[in-house]
Amino acid sequence: MRLSQAWTIASKDLSIFRKKRNILYSTILFPVLVSIGLPLVVKFAGGASGGIPAALLPQLMNSFMFFFIIGAGTLPTAIASYSMVGEKVEKSLEPLLATPTTDSEILLGKSAAALLPPLVSIYAGATIFMALMDRFTYDTLGYLFFPNWSAAVTLLLVAPMAAICSVEVNVIISARFSDVRAAQQLGGILVLPFAGIYVAAEIGLATLNVINLLAISGTMLVVDALLFYVATATFRREEILTKWK
């Protein structure tokens, strides 16, 4: 595999995505809303009653961090779907598939292009989120809650694996669809397990501590490996060139 070829493909896709306003806005909007909106909820919750008690804040803020995992599993959907199905519809995928570039180089390049913008956006949003949370909760807690090990595992392990999972799922889906919106909607189902974990944490059925987050990341690693195998087997340029209509 030639990494230079994969990066050339990724760079081309990234230059195209910058011109797609719907993709650009969706990649930026979610982290901005989470990183600013959730700290404001914490700041103004409770109003005159004195706000959220210090005993509840740590669990609440760790739960809120999980929104960035949800975002990491959702944001690559639009990019990955357009990268495959959108380019097929616009007749710009066939010339690439007709080049001597290998399937693995194409798959790696397009996957990197779908991963990088959402992860950069997620990390930027998480930085703002943690800074605002510390600013709004320091007087109540008496210490800076972020950064901590839970946030580190969330951002450095679980979020990237969720993004990789999203890309791989969309590669598999895109091999069977010729409509971008349909591929995006089906790929968006991936968010349901993450949303379920968040709801379970909020109602007390689960705790998003370091141990459980490591367990989630371990499970995601296995799932990503299986999906990578399926995505690699599914992505066949001969079928795309001859059978996609």
Q: Which pLDDT does position 96 carry in this prediction?
A: 61
DSSP-H helix ranges across the chain: 3-17, 21-44, 57-74, 76-81, 87-89, 94-97, 103-141, 149-153, 159-174, 180-187, 191-202, 210-234, 237-243
Mean pLDDT by 10 residues, the chain (245 residues): 71 75 83 93 68 83 90 84 65 62 77 88 95 92 92 94 87 68 67 84 81 92 89 67 52
Q: pLDDT value at position 35? A: 94
The pLDDT of residue 187 is: 64
Give me the phi and psi of 94, to 5 degrees please.
Answer: -60, -45
In sequence order, what are the residues at sequence separation of 6 or more whose Cβ sits closer than 8 angstroms to the Cβ of residue 214? 153, 157
- DSSP state, residue 157: I
Is residue 41 classed as helix, strand or coil in its secondary structure? helix
Q: At what angle do helices 57-74 and 21-44 cross, to 10 degrees?
A: 170
Q: Which amino acid is at 234?
A: T
CA–CA dist 110, 24 (Å, integer): 16
The pLDDT of residue 214 is: 94
Contact 57, 46 (CB under 8 A): no
pLDDT of residue 94: 59
Per-residue model confidence (pLDDT) at position 149: 93
